[in-house]
Structure 1
Amino acid sequence: MLKLDQVDTYYGNSHILQRLSFEVPEGKCVALLGRNGAGKTTTIHSIAGLTPPRQGSITYKGQPISGLPPYKIARRGIGLVPQGRRIFPSLSIRENLTVPAKDSRSTESSRQKWTLDEVYKLFPILKEREHNMGTQLSGGQQQMLAIGRALMTNPEFILMDEPSEGLAPVIIEQVGDIIKKLKETGLSILLVEQNFYLACGAADEVLVMNKGHIVWKGTPQELLANEEIQHQYLGV
């Protein structure tokens, strides 16, 4: 579904991603773990076109997307749940959801079609408060809104950047359940996280990142059993 091959990305002269290579299979959730500064968010930005790589290739469904502007990458079927949620403060909840909406009729017939009603079914609290401004929500509710906004683009693939950041433990558990539900609809997901247990509970495969490249990969069960990797690269 998504493949990065020998990707190098820079911020100015700072070499952040260094020959980064990995794949996300169709219909799977792959979690990318690592400490602060490992390059996780830069990976998301490279895929989404916000910080294009200088070298290497990124392909989506077999087609190159490296160097495309973000809006064209989004139109290919890649949704983004950004770090920090980035809710539009001057818009209501309903407007936050409808502004990026893509006609669900353009999606494949076999996949879940996301409409306003379907997002409200997944997140009933957003329906209850649809006329409130987005910034009047709690942190957890804003995260639901950020996920719902991405779903309204009717993506086949979702990039999720630190969805548990700043949330209470009970809300983090709810976010994990939401990710599992989305995977059941057939969505492919790249989940960038620092929360070790959320990632292992939701993902099919885990990648551990350090200094811009992958240093370990395996199943969640293998990572849970590997205390050396947990301690050395994740600080668990």
Structure 2
Amino acid sequence: MLKLDNVHTYYGNSHILQGISFEVPKGTCVALLGRNGAGKTTTIHSIAGLTPPRNGTIRFQGRKIEKLTPYQISRCGIGLVPQGRRIFPSLTIRENLTIAARHADQSRTDQEKWTLAKVYELFPILKERENNMGTQLSGGQQQMLAIGRALITNPQLILMDEPSEGLAPIIIEQVGEIIKKLKETGLSILLVEQNFYLACGVANEVLVMNKGQIVWQGEPQQLLANEEIQHRYLGV
């Protein structure tokens, strides 16, 4: 579904991503872990076209996308749940969703297509409060809205950047259940997280990042058993 090969990304003269390579297979969740400043969000931004890489290739379903604009990449079928949620505060829940809506590929069945009704089915609280402005929502409700806004673009891959950030433990559990449900629909997910246990609980594969490089890769159970990697790179 997604493949990065020797990707180098810079902010000015600062070399942030230093030759990272990994894949997100179709229908799986791959979690990217690391301390603050490791390069996780830059990875998301490189894929989404917000900070294009200077070298290396990014392929989505076999197509090179590293030189496309963000809107072109989105139209390829990649949805983004940005760090900090970034919903439109002056719009209602319904307006936030409808402004992002995009028709699904005709090859999908009606059950596979994300519509306003289906987003409301996944997040009943959004239906209850659909006329509330973004400023009237709790952090958890804003996160649900950010996820729903990405889903209604009908992506085949969704990039989630720190979806648990700033949320209460009980809401973090709900986010984890949502990610599991999305996996069951066949959606591919790249999850950037600081919450070690949330990531290991939902991912099929985990990548650990440090100073712009992938320093460890494996299954969640392997990472849970590897205290050295946890202490050295994650501070667990």
TM-score (norm. length: structure 2): 0.98
Q: 2:166 is matched with which residue?
A: 166
Q: Partner letter of residue 176 of structure 2? A: G
Cα distance change on mapping 1:103 and 1:212 into 2, 3 Å: same
The aligned counterpart of 2:232 is: 232
1:17-166 alignment to 2 at 5 Å? 17-104=17-104, 106=106, 108-109=108-109, 112-166=112-166
CA distance in 1 between partners of 2:148 and 2:109 (Å):
20
Deviation for aligned residue 1:103: 1.4
Over aligned residue pairs, what C-alpha RMSD do you find? 1.0
2-structure distance, mates of 1:189, 1:112:
16
Runs of 4 or more consecutive aligned structure 1 residues displaced over 2 Å after TM superposition: 104-111
Change (3 A) 1:111 1:216: farther
Identity of aligned residues (%): 79
Q: Which runs of 5+ in 1 are unaligned?
A: none
Q: What SS class does the counterpart of residue 190 from structure 2 fall into?
A: strand
Q: Output the CA distance in 1 between the equivalents of 2:30 and 2:135.
A: 30
Q: State the distance in 2 between where 1:223 and 1:203 align.
A: 11
Separation of aligned partners in 2, 1:157 and 1:80: 9
Amino acid in structure 2 at the alignment position of 1:151: L
Residue identity opposite 2:65 in structure 1: I
Matched positions, count: 236
Distance 2:20 2:52 in 1: 13
- Give the whole-Å Cα distance in 2 for the aligned partners of 1:204 and 1:29: 5
Gaps of 5+ in 2: none
Counterpart of 1:201, as a letter, is G
- The CA deviation string for residues 175-209 of structure 1, in whole angstroms up to 9 with x for no partner, is 00000000000000000000000000000000000
Secondary structure of the structure 2 residue equivalent to 1:106? coil
Deviation at 1:106, TM superposition (A): 3.5
1:189-208 paired onto structure 2 within 5 Å: 189-208=189-208
Q: Distance in 1 between matches of 2:106 and 2:229?
A: 43
Query: In structure 2, how many angstroms separate the alpha carbons of the residues matched to 1:105 and 1:5?
Result: 27
